[in-house]
Amino acid sequence: MIKKKKKGVDICQREMGMSFACSKRNPTERFIFGWGFVSSSVSRSDRVWFRGGDSTSVFLEVLDGLVTRKFIHDMSSGREFNCGGYTLQIEYADGEVMTFMREKGSVSDLSATCESEIFGDFLNLSPPKSKESLKSRIQSLMDMRDMGLLSDEEFEAKKQEILLEI
């Protein structure tokens, strides 16, 4: 359980309705808030990120080693995202939240080409809902770039989008 409070971020494990192993009042600057899957730090090269969408589409970004691939899954074609030997069963998606079950495979099982793959940026991503300061938004982008979640080109493009909002 993660709670963002005025005095920082509280993180607790929950089991049988009880909280334990809590870490409280962590500085918010240490975290990047946004859409995404929580993934294991043990297998950093095998990640799938939920990047939003709308009521008819789900945006997914796959990180496999140094390669980033983007997909738009059309929900009208069914709830199963399938690309080669990798399958996700999407249980619920509303553009802001997605729940899923990985049916089979890992991102290394994605085929070289998939019908739902796109090249470039996702379309119509909604602007951030929070009233974060300009400095903290750019710092979050820098952190994402440093972790390998954004390329230098994507970082510069997103930074320019933020600066254009001024």
Per the domain annotation, does 104 fall within a domain? yes
Per the domain annotation, does 39 fall within a domain? no
Q: Tell me the pLDDT tens digit for each residue of 14-23.
A: 788 788 788 8
Q: What is the pTM of this model?
A: 0.50
Give yes or no for residue 41 having a pLDDT over 60. Answer: no
| Number of separate helices (H) and strands (E) present in the chain | 2, 10
Structural domain count of the chain? 3
Q: Tell me the pLDDT tens digit for each residue of 122-145.
A: 765 444 444 567 778 888 888 888
Per the domain annotation, does 63 fall within a domain? yes
The predicted model gives 88-103 an average pLDDT of 82
Per the domain annotation, does 50 fall within a domain? yes
Per the domain annotation, does 37 fall within a domain? no
One-letter amino acid for residue 63 of the chain: L
Per the domain annotation, does 6 fall within a domain? yes
Alpha helices in 56-124 (DSSP H): none
Are residues 135 and 86 located together in one domain of the fold?
no
Separation between Cα atoms, residue 100 and residue 93, nearest integer Å = 9
Are residues 54 and 113 located together in one domain of the fold?
yes
56 Cβ contact list (under 8 Å, min separation 6):
74, 75, 76
Domain, as residue range, for 63: 46-118
